[in-house]
Amino acid sequence: MKLYDFPPCPFGQKVRIVLAEKGLAYEFVQVDLSQGEQRRPEFLRLNPFGRVPVLVDEETTIYDSTIINEYLEDEYPEPPVLPAIGSSAQRARARSLEDFADTSFTLQVGQLIGEMGKAESDRDQGRIQRMQRSIERVLDYLNHELQGQEFLAAQFSVADIGFVPRLLVLHELGVDPALNRGNVDAWIKRMLERSSIQNLQGVTAQFVTGV
């Protein structure tokens, strides 16, 4: 099994968490996005969209982190990263929250990273504050959804995994995810007990060192 990825990519990090949770061995093939390696013809043969991650498992090639994780769950079901079969409502909830993380959290935090990465004199402080407030609203929503729950969809799942990569960098971006959010605080602490997530912390810290 090979994973074509770039270490700071949050979508690749989702896949690496699932691979670690399932104890699957794989060869990591770095595709350096900063050098445009995703546009090389040999990579475009794997993913015509020129994006990481891409998983190659024997004769099967899959791209898009959500689809990769669905494949891993189907092909290597233990331990599961979706609620048990038969819990259709919880499985749908997990998938919906993973999509919400991708579209309404990960991308927004990425935009904030981009703005904060500029020279201080070039930063748009008004835009930074608007993005921080938008992220805070997502965190407030999560705090509500976690009321009385250890995880977002009955058990640790792709719903939680989808939020992890960008949760780990929020402090460096001026956002405290746990501030006045006891449910989020406890949730993050539970996730940080998992070795699959502990392994990402060094990567994410290195990524935002210059912010």
- Residue pLDDT, tens place only, 32-89: 998 989 999 999 999 999 999 999 999 999 999 999 999 999 999 999 999 986 689 9
CA 76 to chain CA centroid, Å, is 20
- 75, 109, 125: which is the final residue of a domain? 75
- What is the Cβ-side half-sphere exposure of residue 145, based on CA atoms within 13 angstroms? 19
Is residue 40 a part of any domain in this protein? yes
| CATH number of the domain residue 197 falls in | 1.20.1050.10
Residues 52, 30: Cα–Cα separation, whole Å: 10
Is residue 210 a part of any domain in this protein? no
Place of tokens 């990569």: 165
Residues 67 and 105 occupy one common structural domain: no
Segment 151-175, tens digit of pLDDT: 999 899 999 999 999 999 999 999 9
Residues 109 and 145 occupy one common structural domain: yes
Residues 70 and 155 occupy one common structural domain: no
Residues 71 and 95 occupy one common structural domain: no
Is residue 188 a part of any domain in this protein? yes
Residues 23 and 104 occupy one common structural domain: no
Q: How many domains does the chain have?
A: 2
- Residue 168 vs residues 69, 79, 130, 162, 198: alpha-carbon distances, Å: 20, 24, 20, 12, 10
Is residue 181 a part of any domain in this protein? yes
- Residue 50 vs residues 103, 114, 143, 163, 165: alpha-carbon distances, Å: 19, 20, 35, 23, 21
Residues 96 and 193 occupy one common structural domain: yes
- The closest alpha carbon to 145, from 97, 192, 84, 91, belongs to 97
Residues 68 and 131 occupy one common structural domain: no
Per-residue confidence band for 130, with pLDDT thresholds at 50, 70 and 90:
very high
Which residue range is the domain that position 32 belongs to?
2-75
Is residue 14 within 8 A of residue 65, CB to CB? The reply is yes
Q: Tell me the three state secondary structure of residue 199.
A: helix
The confidence score (pLDDT) of residue 91 equals: 93
| CATH number of the domain residue 64 falls in | 3.40.30.10
* pTM, rounded to two decimals: 0.91
Is residue 209 a part of any domain in this protein? no
Active site residues: 9
The confidence score (pLDDT) of residue 50 equals: 93
Residues 105 and 184 occupy one common structural domain: yes
Residues 97 and 198 occupy one common structural domain: yes
Residues 191 and 139 occupy one common structural domain: yes
Q: What is the DSSP string of the chain?
A: -EEEE-TT-HHHHHHHHHHHHTT---EEEE--GGGTGGGSHHHHTT-TT--S-EEEETTEEEESHHHHHHHHHHHS-SS-SSPPTT-HHHHHHHHHHHHHHIIIIIHHHHHHHHHHTS-GGG--HHHHHHHHHHHHHHHHHHHHHTTT-SSTBSBS-HHHHHHHHHHTTTGGGT--TTTT-HHHHHHHHHHHTSHHHHHHHHHHHHHTTT-
Side chain identity at residue 197, one-letter code: I
Residues 57 and 120 occupy one common structural domain: no
